[in-house]
Structure 1
Amino acid sequence: MPTVYVTRRVHFNAAHRLHNPARSETWNQETFGLCNHPNWHGHNYVLEVTVAGEPNAETGFVLNLRDLKAILEQRILSKLDHKNLNLDVDFLQGIIPTTENLVVAIWRELEDALPAGRLYRIRLYETESNYVEYYGD
């Protein structure tokens, strides 16, 4: 059977501050610029999750998109949407919430949750112009 790639796109809004507490205020301001603002800043993120696999002979699905939608809501959106990534998200505690770190953390939240297929790619848009992709370790 051929390998097929199925992608679900979702949106969430969140605030964060890029700041390394082990470094000086000057270093943080020079390194992170406006993203180091002490009163946070926010993004309208777009998350794409791609699952790879062979279509099931009985359903034709790699993974029922209804199931993927529910998993994303439970494991990701309910924890990230309208939250402060530095303060509110259990799986981001102690992590500087860059987009790069966020895609790895999201992967880890999803990798054992799929009832079919395998996690192939996570793409996270921080802005319309900037996105990060992760394909697992």
Structure 2
Amino acid sequence: MMQQFYPQVQHSYRFELNKDMHFSAAHFIPSEDAGKCQVMHGHTYYLNITIGGNELDSIGFLIDFKELKNLIHDKYDHSVLNDHPEFKNNFPTTEKLAEQVCKSIQEVLLTRNNKPVCLQVIVRETPTSYVIYRPEQEVVL
């Protein structure tokens, strides 16, 4: 795989983890405004996930890379995105996919004692097109 450099998210965490992965899935956007994307078609999606945190777990991880891969790859690989419940009321656009990946990861991170945070998810749909999703950060006063 060719090394890819992605836009960085600004943060003040001591640790930053980045995980690249890919999966293959089909989707369609059921709207006349979507043009050719109205018809089911597939992509090999390439993702980069950025997680930050100040504390490591008992074995020295923010989270195990394998756990991140299994969470996303097992869920979406070789599936039709439209069939997933999180896209029941949302078209499975690349933007919505990036948002849902972030939400799925953050749900798992919230269960961890060291409380890492998903800072950014980048989803590349084609070699020339990608989306960056960054959840709103809470402001602590």
Q: Residues 90 and 129 from structure 1, CA distance in 2 versus in 1: closer, same or farther, beyond 3 angstroms?
A: same
Matched, 1:7 2:7: no
Segments ≥4 residues shifted beyond 2 Å: 1-4, 54-61
Q: Report the equivalent of 2:92.
A: 97
Paired residues, number? 121
- What TM-score does the superposition give when structure 2 sets the normalisation length? 0.75
The sequence identity of aligned pairs, in percent, is 30
Shift of 1:49: 0.9
Q: CA deviation at 1:46?
A: 0.6
Provide the C-alpha distance between the structure 2 equivalents of 1:104 and 1:57, rounded to a whole number of angstroms: 26
TM-score, normalised with respect to structure 1: 0.77
Question: SS of the residue aligned with 1:91?
Answer: helix
1:47-101 deviation per Cα after TM superposition (whole angstroms, max 9, x unaligned): 111101235497654x14xx24224313x221210001112x2322221010011
1:121 aligns with 2:120: yes
Gaps of at least 5 residues in structure 2 are: 1-11, 137-141
Which aligned pairs between 1:38-117 and structure 2 lie closer than 5 A? 40-54=40-54, 56=56, 61=61, 63-64=62-63, 67-74=64-71, 76-87=72-83, 89-114=84-109, 115=112, 116=114, 117=116
Amino acid paired to 2:80:
N
In 2, distance between residues paired with 1:42 and 1:55? 39
Amino acid at match of 1:19: P
- The answer on whether the counterparts of 1:71 and 1:113 sit within 8 Å (CA) in structure 2 is no
1:42 Cα offset (Å): 0.5
Quickly say closer, same or farther: Cα 1:97–1:3, change in 2 above 3 A.
same
> In structure 2, do the counterparts of structure 1 residues 95 and 2 end up closer, same or farther at CA, with 3 Å as the change threshold?
closer
Higher relative contact order, structure no. (Cα contacts within 8 Å, ≥ 6 residues apart): 1
Larger gyration radius, structure 1 or structure 2: 1
Matched position secondary structure for 1:125: strand
Query: Is 1:8–1:69's contact at 8 Å kept on the other side of the alignment?
Result: no
- Distance in 2 (CA, whole Å) between partners of 1:41 and 1:85 is 11
